[in-house]
Structure 1
């Protein structure tokens, strides 16, 4: 670079000035240092740097200082772009004019408030790499134009200013590049850390807690939520963590209606939503809760879609009281974090489904094993040609193809489960095995868990999740045997499943929908139980949609020979015996018997006869076979009639004392009072009779 010769003192002064200008950290301080020099040299009272972006972008940047030394940076796309700098870019020579001419040519700039009062205006072109990039703007208080000698010094000074501008821009670009690299490095480290943290969590609750922890620690955001669509339509499950107390964050899980929520907008658009919420805005329950939690402060919300391909899995919802926390850089990083979270959520949901299916498979295997083990106890296909059984089978055919609830009524041992299997096998649900549960065989405390399932930790001893029978029977049939023995407190839950086709496992508020066809059976008089308040009337009406009454064996004696033959050959084959003949007298004798235990009792008698038979003709010792029935009937105590002047309360108390508190069984109080066990228990509750107090008294 060549400079005009000004003599040794002036050259030294220019050298010192050059060193001073090159040491300035930014363009505003450069303009300030240049102003001070021009004022000392009486060349100008004010200086500024004006740079044009490029030919394609008319944007102009102004760098200067005000009278108090405060930096002024202004970016303009119109007024300054059409001002003196456009003249400099077109004609690379010094521009100078009086204030009046400046106001006339550029009136918009003159009234912009950017310039102090001046009398004469000048702009020197700044060249970098042989290209004009802008100008050095100078002002004089008076209206004196610059002399030729002053213009020569100013041109030399402009070369130094151009060199300083180039160095400052280069240094700033290097710093910006370095800061960008540092920020990218830190962002990359953060992404790796969050990726490792969240992808290692397969449990959904643990994953969401880890997500909230990482976002709070790295961004200072105090309310973090993951919103997923619930099993029920138009419902959202919101998993939230709020850092009201940094050491003890508040975790919350709730289910809300999707309609009208901000999350609904994101689910529909699949795009980010960023907005400020005020208390006066129309708010959904979650946003209203945020205002209550943070003292009605303005909430800045950022909702990011969690995408898996083209499908949206959920929404990452971030809320903060500070308005400027979601900067452009932060939003870019949060988008990348949301992509990682979406993968983690997808994995967790897949793992949850695999675990559910695995546990369901285990429970199905257990249930099927239980049923397979009990197949031997069933008496195979339905056997019977009597009119009573033909009526039953006609009812089975009528109801099988529907999804209606069926209530099978009959004494113990009449084959209620066999009828339930026939209904299932003739239905459209026969592609899946029927699931069954005996309500009387299950302790009351475990019956609810067996029906609806439980989560791990739901009660003492619940070390793993358990799938209930209603969930196992989805798309199939559920047979509830001895439904009359179901505890009263559990009956409303059964009623809800029948009405709504949904339930929750014990220890969970997650609603599970199920498509189950219910077949119930009982040997109890449900109508009498309803009258005695021992069974809910609404559940009875829901179960009694299509009742089927099974006749006891004594009412269809013509079927007994068929049953005897079928049982004899089946049992003989199982015991590896050969019996090919049954005496006619044996069949007539068996047909005349009462059979209090019905078909099940008949099968047991035949099995005993097969075991006692020597040879291939069934041997039945009639006196020996009759003895248990007669002995049982003879041993039964007589019914206790009411005594004169004795009311129901006094009679029950007396009989309880006479039976030593025994309620059920052939010698129990229910037998002596001529009542069913459940009916007696119901009446004792209604009359306030405590068995222990009666015996103690």
Structure 2
């Protein structure tokens, strides 16, 4: 092009140039405006702005290409070691032709920023005596600038320097303001998420709240928290998928850890950022994400949840749009993960405390039931009859094994006492036996009581509950009245017996339990199987080692021992002093049918103790108790019943002293001892008891 020398600028011309350059919004726009002005003045074909970043030792380029598009480039190599480096050390104008430029800075000459030209000039940009960059002027004509033209270029450079400094100051202030705004917004997000999650002590609520906040601020599609659980090689995942923004899908599942991206984070304890592709090999959970989001390419960001030196879990974020995971967002998400880690650790600690508390409550309840049951029955098995001896031999045989025992017998025969004897003689006796009565529990609550339930599993389930099977781990579980178990619940009991595992209501988490089962019933299970009221497979699984308890009418010889034990126990409990039982009372009790068996006998003795005045048991049978006159068993007439460990001579002597030596009559010693007058006199003679010993 031809160059027309510019006339003197004058005040108006300088004002217009200054106003034009100072109005530019950024450095590329400043370079473009400067190029336009020097072209109009016929001084150059292009003008570029170079700035120096001393703290980074980097140079920045701002200009335009031949088509008018803005160019921006920076580096710490070629550009930083180009012409700008020279004027920083020698603050004077630099100019040369293209060949010299190419030989001196060959790397720059190969860049699109500097296509072949005629002549090159670089003037320093300075402020307060400090050079902060340079102004490049390039002309296609190889002729050098005249002295007058060069002076005008200096004027343009001075004005451009003021404009560049102002733009830098404005951009720096704006950038710092943006940083402050971003830090303020980030702080608000952190406070909001911290307040939201730290108050949640249940994992499902915690994850749901965290997911809601993260989705709100980052618009992330899927948020999950992955935790290792008690089952080896398994992880639990709580997720919220925002397929429908208004109604997110909440999910809780258990998957194998092996092969998952979470496994890599658990091992490395470092963040993992990956792009998933449909063609890649994925674990089932990652494959499910593809299917849920229409097989779109997804970006996954996995952040370790670190609490101190421990990794408590993994925060997994899935997003179809990669632009969400910018450097600034990841920095903030790392801080959010730290808060979630604290909340997860709190929730896990609360869960463990709650579990131990529930276990303690259940153990105390079961122990109280056990103590109460022991105190309402006899404290040990009492019986010397042949049938009871046979039962005890069976107990001893099966106790040391882990075989399931089925105790059969009428109501009140002492099935629970036999179950407790089996447990106490087993290798599991270091832990208490757990008991549940299937007949006493409503059908709707029996499953929850057996297997436990999660919070929210059904209406009224406000807290998590540990079931009896979980409570009886490494111990024995006594299922009383198993014949009354609902038919729909029996397959679940069969599964526990066969697989040693179960699930709480409202959860799909598998719980293993090593439980020895002892069942009891007063019903005919074989007939119930025939009538389709009881599952045959469960019956055969329970009937491994059946023990049949005899009714009390088939072990009448044990009745005197039972009467003595009950009388002494109940009298002591009531603060009474009863030291003898009339033989007629024993004969009467031994002739009865006892449809209620041992429990009925105990109730009769308790009534007798209540109605007794004095130290001799006074039997008062209720109307509903009837005699069986055809009974063949009767205790010998001359049987005496010492209650407090006295020998025969001591007992007779003591009773004679209490009756002042009176033998016969309603208040005599014979009546109190429950024997005939002639029998008492015969014994006194045999034992050498005289009147002098009584006085």
Q: Distance in 1 between matches of 2:387 and 2:262?
A: 61
In structure 1, the partner of 2:233 is 234
The answer to whether the 8 A contact 1:58-1:78 is kept is no
The answer to whether the 8 A contact 1:127-1:133 is kept is yes
Q: Structure 2 matches for 1:356-367, cutoff 5 A?
A: 356-367=355-366
In structure 1, the partner of 2:105 is 106
Q: Distance in 2 between matches of 1:629 and 1:462?
A: 52
Query: Aligned with 2:322: secondary structure?
Result: coil
Further displaced range: 433-442 or 173-182: 433-442
Further displaced range: 105-114 or 393-402: 393-402
Query: Aligned with 2:324: secondary structure?
Result: coil
Query: Aligned with 1:374: secondary structure?
Result: helix
In structure 1, the partner of 2:176 is 177
Q: TM-score, normalised by structure 2?
A: 0.80
Q: Distance in 2 between matches of 1:109 and 1:142?
A: 20
Q: Does 1:415 align with 2:405?
A: no
The answer to whether the 8 A contact 1:316-1:338 is kept is yes
Specify whether residues 622 and 233 from structure 1 end up closer, same or farther in structure 2 by C-alpha distance, changes over 3 A only.
Answer: closer
Query: Aligned with 2:383: secondary structure?
Result: coil
Specify whether residues 114 and 477 from structure 1 end up closer, same or farther in structure 2 by C-alpha distance, changes over 3 A only.
Answer: same
Query: C-alpha deviations, 1:283-309, integer Å up to 9, x for none?
Result: 233332332232222111112222222
In structure 2, the partner of 1:33 is 33
The answer to whether the 8 A contact 1:231-1:513 is kept is no
Instruction: Using the TM superposition, give the Cα deviation of residue 210 of structure 1 relative to its aligned residue in structure 2, in angstroms.
Output: 2.2
Query: Aligned with 2:258: secondary structure?
Result: coil
The answer to whether the 8 A contact 2:312-2:341 is kept is yes
The gaps in structure 2 that reach 5 residues or longer are: 1-5, 633-695
Q: Distance in 2 between matches of 1:538 and 1:229?
A: 36
Query: C-alpha deviations, 1:333-367, integer Å up to 9, x for none?
Result: 11112222222333333344444444444444544
Q: Distance in 1 between matches of 2:380 and 2:329?
A: 71
Q: Structure 2 matches for 1:282-293, cutoff 5 A?
A: 282-293=281-292
Q: Distance in 2 between matches of 1:282 and 1:527?
A: 54
Q: Distance in 1 between matches of 2:447 and 2:483?
A: 15
Query: Aligned with 2:113: secondary structure?
Result: coil
Q: Does 1:49 align with 2:63?
A: no
Q: Structure 2 matches for 1:458-497, cutoff 5 A?
A: 458-459=457-458, 466-497=465-496
Count of aligned positions: 627
Further displaced range: 493-502 or 184-193: 493-502
Q: Structure 2 matches for 1:85-484, cutoff 5 A?
A: 85-386=84-385, 389-390=388-389, 392-393=391-392, 396=395, 400=399, 403-427=402-426, 429-430=428-429, 432-455=431-454, 458-459=457-458, 466-484=465-483
The answer to whether the 8 A contact 1:477-1:518 is kept is yes
Q: Structure 2 matches for 1:646-685, cutoff 5 A?
A: none
In structure 2, the partner of 1:675 is none
Query: Aligned with 1:330: secondary structure?
Result: helix
Q: Answer with 1 or 2: which has the greater Rg.
A: 2
Further displaced range: 500-509 or 217-226: 500-509
Further displaced range: 450-459 or 289-298: 450-459
Instruction: Using the TM superposition, give the Cα deviation of residue 174 of structure 1 relative to its aligned residue in structure 2, in angstroms.
Output: 0.9
| CA RMSD between the two structures | 3.5
Q: Distance in 2 between matches of 1:228 and 1:270?
A: 14
Specify whether residues 346 and 547 from structure 1 end up closer, same or farther in structure 2 by C-alpha distance, changes over 3 A only.
Answer: same
Q: Structure 2 matches for 1:551-566, cutoff 5 A?
A: 551-553=550-552, 556=555, 558-566=557-565
Q: Distance in 1 between matches of 2:625 and 2:327?
A: 94
Q: Does 1:572 align with 2:571?
A: yes
The answer to whether the 8 A contact 2:591-2:629 is kept is no
Q: Distance in 1 between matches of 2:170 and 2:268?
A: 44
Query: C-alpha deviations, 1:570-611, integer Å up to 9, x for none?
Result: 233334443322355665776676655543344344445545
Specify whether residues 269 and 544 from structure 1 end up closer, same or farther in structure 2 by C-alpha distance, changes over 3 A only.
Answer: farther
Q: Distance in 2 between matches of 1:218 and 1:276?
A: 22
Specify whether residues 528 and 149 from structure 1 end up closer, same or farther in structure 2 by C-alpha distance, changes over 3 A only.
Answer: same
Specify whether residues 199 and 498 from structure 1 end up closer, same or farther in structure 2 by C-alpha distance, changes over 3 A only.
Answer: same
Instruction: Using the TM superposition, give the Cα deviation of residue 143 of structure 1 relative to its aligned residue in structure 2, in angstroms.
Output: 1.0
Instruction: Using the TM superposition, give the Cα deviation of residue 49 of structure 1 relative to its aligned residue in structure 2, in angstroms.
Output: 1.6
Instruction: Using the TM superposition, give the Cα deviation of residue 108 of structure 1 relative to its aligned residue in structure 2, in angstroms.
Output: 2.8
Query: C-alpha deviations, 1:433-460, integer Å up to 9, x for none?
Result: 4321222333434322332234566556
Query: Aligned with 2:313: secondary structure?
Result: strand
The answer to whether the 8 A contact 1:27-1:165 is kept is yes
Specify whether residues 465 and 27 from structure 1 end up closer, same or farther in structure 2 by C-alpha distance, changes over 3 A only.
Answer: closer
Instruction: Using the TM superposition, give the Cα deviation of residue 400 of structure 1 relative to its aligned residue in structure 2, in angstroms.
Output: 4.5
In structure 2, the partner of 1:17 is 17
Further displaced range: 602-611 or 244-253: 602-611
Specify whether residues 114 and 569 from structure 1 end up closer, same or farther in structure 2 by C-alpha distance, changes over 3 A only.
Answer: same
Q: Distance in 1 between matches of 2:631 and 2:79?
A: 116
The answer to whether the 8 A contact 1:272-1:304 is kept is yes
Instruction: Using the TM superposition, give the Cα deviation of residue 75 of structure 1 relative to its aligned residue in structure 2, in angstroms.
Output: 2.0
The answer to whether the 8 A contact 2:592-2:628 is kept is no
Further displaced range: 62-71 or 525-534: 525-534
Specify whether residues 366 and 626 from structure 1 end up closer, same or farther in structure 2 by C-alpha distance, changes over 3 A only.
Answer: closer
In structure 1, the partner of 2:655 is none
Instruction: Using the TM superposition, give the Cα deviation of residue 141 of structure 1 relative to its aligned residue in structure 2, in angstroms.
Output: 0.7
Specify whether residues 627 and 25 from structure 1 end up closer, same or farther in structure 2 by C-alpha distance, changes over 3 A only.
Answer: closer
Query: Aligned with 2:568: secondary structure?
Result: helix
The answer to whether the 8 A contact 2:519-2:542 is kept is yes
Instruction: Using the TM superposition, give the Cα deviation of residue 416 of structure 1 relative to its aligned residue in structure 2, in angstroms.
Output: 1.9
Q: Structure 2 matches for 1:511-660, cutoff 5 A?
A: 511-526=510-525, 534-553=533-552, 556=555, 558-583=557-582, 587=586, 597-610=596-609, 615-618=614-617, 627-629=626-628
Q: Distance in 2 between matches of 1:609 and 1:537?
A: 45
Instruction: Using the TM superposition, give the Cα deviation of residue 253 of structure 1 relative to its aligned residue in structure 2, in angstroms.
Output: 2.6
Specify whether residues 351 and 156 from structure 1 end up closer, same or farther in structure 2 by C-alpha distance, changes over 3 A only.
Answer: same
Q: Distance in 2 between matches of 1:334 and 1:274?
A: 12
Instruction: Using the TM superposition, give the Cα deviation of residue 322 of structure 1 relative to its aligned residue in structure 2, in angstroms.
Output: 1.1
Specify whether residues 624 and 631 from structure 1 end up closer, same or farther in structure 2 by C-alpha distance, changes over 3 A only.
Answer: farther
Instruction: Using the TM superposition, give the Cα deviation of residue 417 of structure 1 relative to its aligned residue in structure 2, in angstroms.
Output: 0.9
Specify whether residues 408 and 10 from structure 1 end up closer, same or farther in structure 2 by C-alpha distance, changes over 3 A only.
Answer: same
Q: TM-score, normalised by structure 1?
A: 0.80
Query: C-alpha deviations, 1:231-259, integer Å up to 9, x for none?
Result: 43333332222223322223233332222
Specify whether residues 582 and 97 from structure 1 end up closer, same or farther in structure 2 by C-alpha distance, changes over 3 A only.
Answer: same
Q: Distance in 1 between matches of 2:358 and 2:193?
A: 30
Specify whether residues 117 and 621 from structure 1 end up closer, same or farther in structure 2 by C-alpha distance, changes over 3 A only.
Answer: closer
